[in-house]
Amino acid sequence: MITVCAMWSDHSVHAGRNKSEPRLFPIRHRSVTDTAEQTDPVAQLPVYFFSSTSNLIRRFARSLHATDGRPVRDLSERTVRSSEAPGPWILLTPSYKAGNDAHATLPAAVRTFLRSPANRRRLVGIIGSGNRNFGDHYQAAARELARVSGRPVVFEFELAGTPEDVAECARILTAFDARFGNAPETHDR
């Protein structure tokens, strides 16, 4: 089974295509007919997240973990945000922008974690949470980070998400596991 995933790349500018438009890459899902691949279990990519005192993001992250055992790491813990991800990872971040174009929307703990060149290099995708009441600024942090980093926003949800959001996000992350799960490093950027 092949799923197409939008990936952005600084060196994917082709004639007639804007740099900010997604470049599509196929992701191959494992199936029972892939006998050569059956012997190598696919590692699950960890999700590093930040949640404010509202705990909306934490609830979503814990639900992801409960769904398929995916490892989740809380960036509000000093030891986590001062560490380096050992391999490819996914970021789950909220957006706090409420109509203020002049200020950053990315939480300080996420910015701290991304100061590490290794963490920036190993980031393979972004999950965004937001509040539709923010209007044009809904998902601003995830979308801006995707634009700057060249990594895709793989899923967006509102507030704490719904059980259906968790299931769909887990399904999408399984495709990323198949693509990046056994890779010790990702591309340099």
Domain CATH code at residue 97: 3.40.50.360
Q: Please tell me the distance from the alpha carbon of residue 85 to that of residue 123, in angstroms, as a whole number.
A: 9
Range(s) of the domain holding residue 68: 42-180
pLDDT at 18 over 60: no
In a domain, 12, yes or no: no
Domain total in the chain: 1
In a domain, 160, yes or no: yes
Q: What pLDDT was estimated at residue 41?
A: 63
Q: What are phi and psi of 37, to 5 degrees?
A: -90, -15
pLDDT at 19 over 70: no
In a domain, 133, yes or no: yes
Q: What are phi and psi of 7, to 5 degrees?
A: -125, 140
Lowest-pLDDT range of 1-5, 16-20, 138-142: 1-5
Stretch 101-120: mean pLDDT: 84
Model confidence pLDDT, tens digit, residues 30-78: 334 444 444 456 789 999 999 887 888 999 999 999 998 999 999 999 9
Q: What pLDDT was estimated at residue 56?
A: 86
Model confidence pLDDT, tens digit, residues 121-144: 999 999 999 888 777 778 888 888
pLDDT at 150 over 50: yes
- pTM, two decimals, is 0.73
In a domain, 17, yes or no: no
pLDDT at 80 over 80: yes
In a domain, 59, yes or no: yes
pLDDT at 170 over 90: yes
**In which residue are the tokens 């979308």 written?**
143
In a domain, 157, yes or no: yes
In a domain, 5, yes or no: no
Instruction: Give the rounded percent of residues in the chain with a pLDDT score beyond 90.
Output: 44
The pair of structure tokens assigned to 39 is 């012997």
Average of per-residue pLDDT values in the chain: 76
- pLDDT tier for residue 97 given thresholds of 50, 70 and 90: low
In a domain, 134, yes or no: yes
**In which residue are the tokens 């639900």 written?**
63
Q: What pLDDT was estimated at residue 84?
A: 94
Q: Please tell me the distance from the alpha carbon of residue 75 to that of residue 48, in angstroms, as a whole number.
A: 6
